[in-house]
Structure 1
């Protein structure tokens, strides 16, 4: 049961640290360091944390990160992480890469209760310009085994790149191996710095969707999210979902329409979780989509989901202890500050993390109101075992769109937030067990898209 609580804390750390603690790196070109030098720099940073030498740890940050996270705040953050996840006891797998000219390191950190990957971004002066924790990647040699509904001889994949100048994103087109044109669909991620497969532990729901739909004669575009590719270049004080999600989604739709095998009049938009909340807004800005698909899209403001999720996890063992109750109260206070707009846009929302401006912007994007403006068909899908986006949200769609004849609703009682089947109460541990999107979901999606494409 403790592991469940740890994994929820991890989820919040991944989402919220990524929002708050990235410096802006525009216009800097990194000098090349050897992997050994980068490894030693990363180890030095971790050793300062292990020995509680926070002053020296903060000295490793560039000016922007140091201003956003001074020593006192960093000490408080690190103590909170280790309180929830246990002490950092060792580290292992080390990798390096470059993003937009900056040197990135990934080091697997072994806490007492869970393993995480620490990602650091180093600028040309050797200072840390961005950092966050990610779920530990599947072990080396892990192989994705396609579900039975995938017909690999029916499609091929093509590496692509698209996006605004300076923000180009890598991705994949899954293309049926028959003569087109075909309908197409763009996949929009949930919260956090997701890759093109929306990888969560060993699960790859967007890969399941892409390969499953391509097997049925539908072109699918999926891509790495801007917050994954350019995490260290994002200015957190001017960070909203318009730049995080919407701009790239609009460019992806345009890119897909230009593909030779795609019928430009039959391009659809599919969003999962936060993406599901935003796709009505994206469709209204685009004005040309043939249909909108919502997978587990919340109708409540995102910051209202966090205390509900925490309370659910804390209650799984049958009680909420005093420490958990205190944490819930802190989060609720943060929610109230956002609801009452009592924070300046560049202030951090206590209990929630992230700058208030991010939450204010998202709060104003009402998905049901946006959906009511659409003239195209909508397909709204929900897992009955989903504790992150719940039946309360699904009912919000049903009640808000009850008068709309072009909307289809589908509930899958046995599926969780990833649309993977299970039994009993859903828990964060499920996300660490390999599975696939249920075949029924792929069948329903393909039938709906193809019925509107004839």
Structure 2
């Protein structure tokens, strides 16, 4: 079952789609007997000027695949993107972190979500936002990062072009793909350094990146892995998808991404059950 909900963040309306596992509809519609087993939550964070749909329905298909494995999945539009209200180019990373936390607030208020099995799945800039959120919010237990941004300011300026950034500084705004970007947006990008903060996340991490990604280099995932490996807590795994592009547009590549993500999450679930058994 799937449904669309409107969430509130400041004065903006954040539109989200919720996917429920088979035979698990909205909590308020079920009897007490069916709510006895809590289930994992995965929240999907889209990238720069993206939406909860994803390029070629990337996030729709990912959510349905995860729901088929027993997850409640929430995918949402950041303010100013997709169907959500707001001005995306006048906000920035701080606002996206707050919005991600607002989505977590809502999702964890559902009585059937297990608060110990919460995953953020982020793609591109959404990967950086997911990481920065997880560092600040202990409710996040796992991270799945697809083609994650590592240097928000440099990476986004490379995408829109230096001339547009300069125009924003000189004139107070610039246009890119129909979005108006102000200096405030770029200021928030420069404020955050995911590489420097990554070691503060103590949970498990899965990194996935394509070798033919010409937007965000695959080298970033190798560097992220080195940082995560230096932690005293938490494991980190990496999957490099040969010849895959930034959005995994090939059906074969997309299948690899989905299956590896599901496999990794299921392995984590099995480890948790094993540890729970030995702790009894």
Q: TM-score range by the shorter chain?
A: 0.7 to 0.9
Residue-by-residue CA offset, 1:380-402 (whole Å, 9 max, x unaligned): 11111111111232233134334
How far off is 1:191 after superposition?
0.8
The root-mean-square deviation of aligned C-alpha atoms, in Å, is: 3.0
1:189 aligns with 2:14: no
Aligned 8 A contact 1:300 1:393 in 2: no
From 22, 29, 43, the equivalent of 1:177 is: 22
Aligned 8 A contact 1:388 1:417 in 2: yes
Residue-by-residue CA offset, 1:144-185 (whole Å, 9 max, x unaligned): xxxxxxxxxxxx213323232532323221111255421110
Q: Secondary structure at the match of 2:149?
A: coil
Could you say which residue in structure 1 is the equivalent of 2:79? 226
From 79, 93, 98, the equivalent of 1:241 is: 93
From 149, 154, 162, the equivalent of 1:298 is: 149
Q: Secondary structure at the match of 1:303?
A: helix
Aligned 8 A contact 1:186 1:220 in 2: yes
Q: Secondary structure at the match of 2:184?
A: helix
From 238, 245, 262, the equivalent of 1:446 is: 262
Q: Secondary structure at the match of 2:9?
A: coil
Which runs of 5 or more structure 2 residues have no equivalent in the other structure?
A: 24-33, 274-280
The alpha-carbon distance between structure 1 residues 258 and 296, as it changes in their structure 2 partners (threshold 3 A), is: same
The alpha-carbon distance between structure 1 residues 181 and 350, as it changes in their structure 2 partners (threshold 3 A), is: closer
Q: Hey, what's the Cα distance between the residues in 1 that align with 2:10 and 2:174?
A: 32
TM-score by length of 2: 0.78
Q: Hey, what's the Cα distance between the residues in 1 that align with 2:74 and 2:253?
A: 17
How far off is 1:412 after superposition?
0.7
The alpha-carbon distance between structure 1 residues 157 and 235, as it changes in their structure 2 partners (threshold 3 A), is: closer
Q: Secondary structure at the match of 1:288?
A: coil
Could you say which residue in structure 2 is the equivalent of 1:385? 212
How far off is 1:359 after superposition?
1.3
Q: How many residues align?
A: 253
Aligned 8 A contact 1:169 1:225 in 2: yes
Within a 5 Å distance, the mapping from 1:402-421 to structure 2 comes to 402-404=229-231, 406-421=235-250
The alpha-carbon distance between structure 1 residues 288 and 230, as it changes in their structure 2 partners (threshold 3 A), is: closer
Structure showing greater radius of gyration is 1
Q: Hey, what's the Cα distance between the residues in 2 that align with 1:246 and 1:190?
A: 13
Q: Hey, what's the Cα distance between the residues in 2 that align with 1:264 and 1:275?
A: 22
Stretch moving more, 355-364 or 286-295:
355-364
Aligned 8 A contact 2:143 2:203 in 1: yes
Could you say which residue in structure 2 is the equivalent of 1:376? 203
Which runs of 5 or more structure 1 residues have no equivalent in the other structure?
A: 1-155, 311-330, 422-434
Q: Hey, what's the Cα distance between the residues in 1 that align with 2:15 and 2:186?
A: 28
Q: Secondary structure at the match of 2:20?
A: strand
How far off is 1:446 after superposition?
1.6
TM-score by length of 1: 0.50
The alpha-carbon distance between structure 1 residues 222 and 350, as it changes in their structure 2 partners (threshold 3 A), is: closer
Q: Hey, what's the Cα distance between the residues in 2 that align with 1:248 and 1:195?
A: 14
Q: Hey, what's the Cα distance between the residues in 1 that align with 2:189 and 2:182?
A: 12
Aligned 8 A contact 2:198 2:227 in 1: no
Could you say which residue in structure 2 is the equivalent of 1:425? none
